[in-house]
Chain A
Amino acid sequence: MLRSIAARRLFSSTLARKDTLAFIEVANGKVLAASLSAISAAKAIGKPILGIVLGPEGEKGAESAAKIDGLAKLLVAKDAKYDHYLAEEVAPLLKELVSKNSYTHFVTPASAVGKSFLPRLGALLDVQPVSDITKVVSEDTFVRPIYAGNALATVKSKDNVVLASVRASAFPQAELSGSASIEDVSEAVESGNRTEFVGEDLVKSERPELGSASRVVSGGRGLKNKETFDSIMNPLAEKLNAAIGASRAAVDAGYCDNSLQVGQTGKIVAPELYVAVGVSGAIQHLAGMKDSKTVVAINKDPEAPIFNVADIGLVGDLNEAVPELVSKL
């Protein structure tokens, strides 16, 4: 009796010890900071972690991806059809790998790319994915924000494989101190893809990347126009070596590019310092920044909701306060 229990335990523990497959997003030959955060989430799950990079872009970044601490192995799928990470190509390949190797977990950063292919993978595997996790409670239980971050739901997955996207700002970035072995993916998967990549128009910026910057300065409607936005926000960002963000109002009014929007429907950031200039602080904007360590608000309206989350608030005219701040920093 005792022996059978012991045997069963042994059996179940060998069964349970399966791997996590982690998608590592590479852009311009560099591993995305968000991917490093996703690896930290994978570590918290506690299984051996296999990384995977895709396409020519992934191949370029493979050497640095293999250095991510915590990786047991790095898989490289070199095929050019994985360039641009089309969900129609990525999901069938991952489905093949996950089902063939019976990985118990798959994680991806909750980037535009990850959000695009993960649910499609869920459909192929008949699994309900878990979006945007901010905490790993156990290997099947996770915390994720709902209602624009106004509530935190703890959810337990009953699926046999957990598919999760990871909110980068909620996990530290894994170090680049490892040396995983690199292995080519040999599977050739026929996807039946009919989608064609036409082109892209990416915003070039010398500023740090918004999603991973340790400091963010963000402008809102109060900046009035594009000229003021640039003339007020650029010097402040430069002085603080910060990324520039914006509220939806500023983006819609054309003060800056869409990709700079911070909020429920834009980027989610949690920098050390977040300076909100002329931002009222609507629920949807707060959803994207309220986990920042120190929040500074500069706004002429003392009733603006942004002051409810600001650690340091200054009621005043941003046209005077911000240049003065720049000169005194």
Chain B
Amino acid sequence: ALPLMNLPSVEGDAIKVYVRVRPPSEGTVLTDGDQSLCLSVLSSNTIRLHSKPEPKIFTFDYVANMETTQESVFSSVAKNIVESCMNGYNGTIFAYFESASFVQHNMRRPSDSDNFTHSLRGVIPRSFEYLFFLIEREKEKAGSGKSFLCKCSFIEIYNEQIFDLLDSASAGLFLREHIKKGVFVDGAVEQVLSSAAEAYQVLTMGWRNRRVASTSMNRESSRSHAVFTITVESMEKNNEIVNIRSSLLNLVDLAGSERQKDTHTEGLSCLGQVITALVDVGNGKQRHICYRDSKLTFLLRDSLGGNAKTCIIANVHPGSRCFGETLSTLNFAQRAKLIKNKAVVNEDMQGNV
């Protein structure tokens, strides 16, 4: 029998949740026990939120304190997902709240945006580097027998509408499903990538097209998500048999909290949600629920309880001014932990002569 220990699926398929306490912005000095902190890291997997009257304790797969480097965040969770992607799994990395640091970094160094070796760079650029590093290594190992094709798309979901960040002229796009290709954004531009630097360039360019950045409607920015998808296709020739593997790596920037404001003042608009909740208790009965998932969960259906490996990296700000946001981020991460994933390898044998 094969040694099961080496298989990535053995570690369990539940979504890994990593919470990282962001270092305070430059110039401010915060010490533990400071009144202005709304949370404290208790251990490597628990965090305490100083809520009143009772503090709340949250448990995650990993909790990183303010001193943790971006590099260690990446190697603790995201690295594994990128590796699985090379083995034919689909993978998704949610980087909750990453945008702030990402944009900041960009703004600080606008002149050399293709130079992404800055130590503060986030999980997304690191994932590019690592992916292409693995591809190069694989190519060297296999010689001419193996080839790779990487394509990427970059979209933004804003106000439940989809925009193509690689084509600023595009109007709202639609999500569709294809019986062979799964869920896809109809009409989204796909760009071929040959290196991490190129991926980074596409990312930076697309970023500038973000709806939220270009409008003054900042208030709505919390509802804008960006999804960078890389399709990795490998082809290996062994005599007459061609072995094709393809997988998706989704890098998702959930740019803000999902706090819902003014739900009650508007009256009855969410009656549907209440009723849906009732129908949900239908224990195994045949029923149809009319309200679809949000665009984001529909697009990433595979990654959420589907056929993929998923991790969530939630960044929380320790300042007490961010209490509300921190609480909703932690709650979101907590819910995410309950989702279980089933991963299956994507392998297709062709040309069996």
A, B in one complex: no
Residues of B in contact with A (beta carbons under 8 Å apart): none
